[in-house]
């Protein structure tokens, strides 16, 4: 029973991290109708920023966390302005290939700067890295903090999209891109703001995710990024609640599969789930069917 509780709590933590990352995918797709496959590499950059600031420069952890968010936000805006903005009216395949190219560019730059060697996480974030006991199960405090923080951030994001002017502009653009432009909405500003929010959430997710890992490598953002993308598709890409629900389902499923002794197949299950959901319900759990206008 204690083992089951431990895997359940860990699954909630993992699902929460996937949710933070998946929100970046679903928001960008919902507004710009493009898949930013460089999003996983922003996670890696966020983790490396904390390591450089704290482990190498000796800065306080909270300073490293703030700088990580700022660096990820800046990187997200630069990627959008340099790589995606010129292709706004290009075919989706062109944008997709560009996104893959940006991903490999970031990885190779990181490989050059780090020498390709994993960087150890020698100074974990204090307090949340402490070990505690929950119903007899031993875990780190970050395991409990992550779901709570994720829910709070999602509530703030929902408030932002429902109650603010920029949020209404985002919802208008997601419903009808061309009409929103005709109504005077500055689409470029809305898309840039979406990248800002998505990159900031990815940075927070990176800090929470790598707290439980001994080191960070150049390719460390690839797998959590892919699984977060699967979560976004599973829940209905473009839907904020869908991304969160899909992420929690995938996180819990992975950890429960490990709990019953089939950890080798935990990753395979995630991608098999993607195939099944695309065959059965291509729009995802909360996705809306889009009809082309003639």
What is the tens place of the pLDDT at every residue in 108-162? 999 988 888 888 876 666 666 667 777 666 777 777 888 888 899 999 998 998 8
Within the chain, which residues score under 70 in pLDDT?
Answer: 1-2, 4, 122-130, 135-137, 287-294
Residue 294, pLDDT score: 43
Please give the pLDDT value at position 45: 93
pLDDT of 129 reads 66
Check residue 124 and give its pLDDT: 61
Q: Is the dihedral of CA 274, 277, 282, 285 positive or negative?
A: negative
Task: Determine the pLDDT at residue 264.
Answer: 80
The encoded tokens of residue 265 equal: 């197949």
What per-residue confidence (pLDDT) applies to 293?
Answer: 47
């Amino acid at each position: 029973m204690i083992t089951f509780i431990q895997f359940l709590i860990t699954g909630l933590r993992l699902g929460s991290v996937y949710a933070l990352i998946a929100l970046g995918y679903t928001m960008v797709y919902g507004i710009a109708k493009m898949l930013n496959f460089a999003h996983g590499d922003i996670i890696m950059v966020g983790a490396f920023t904390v390591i450089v600031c704290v482990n190498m420069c000796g800065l306080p952890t909270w300073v490293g966390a703030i700088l990580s968010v700022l660096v990820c936000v800046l990187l997200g805006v630069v990627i959008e302005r340099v790589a995606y903005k010129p292709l706004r009216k290009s075919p989706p395949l062109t944008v997709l290939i560009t996104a893959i190219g940006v991903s490999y560019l970031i990885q190779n730059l990181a490989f050059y700067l780090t020498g390709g060697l994993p960087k150890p996480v020698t100074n974990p974030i204090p307090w949340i890295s402490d070990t505690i006991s929950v119903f007899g199960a031993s875990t780190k405090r970050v395991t409990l903090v992550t779901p709570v923080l994720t829910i709070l951030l999602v509530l703030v994001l929902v408030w932002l999209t429902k109650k603010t002017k920029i949020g209404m502009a985002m919802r208008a653009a997601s419903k009808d891109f061309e009409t929103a432009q005709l109504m005077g909405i500055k689409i470029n500003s809305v898309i840039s703001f979406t990248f800002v929010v998505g990159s900031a959430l990815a940075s927070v997710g990176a800090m929470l995710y790598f707290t439980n890992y001994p080191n960070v490598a150049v390719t460390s953002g690839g797998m959590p990024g892919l699984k977060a993308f699967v979560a976004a598709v599973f829940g209905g890409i473009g839907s904020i609640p869908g991304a969160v629900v899909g992420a929690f389902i995938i996180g819990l499923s992975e950890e429960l599969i490990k709990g019953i002794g089939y950890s080798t197949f935990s990753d395979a299950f995630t991608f098999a789930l993607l195939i099944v959901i695309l065959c059965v319900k291509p729009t995802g759990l909360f996705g809306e069917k889009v009809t082309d206008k003639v």
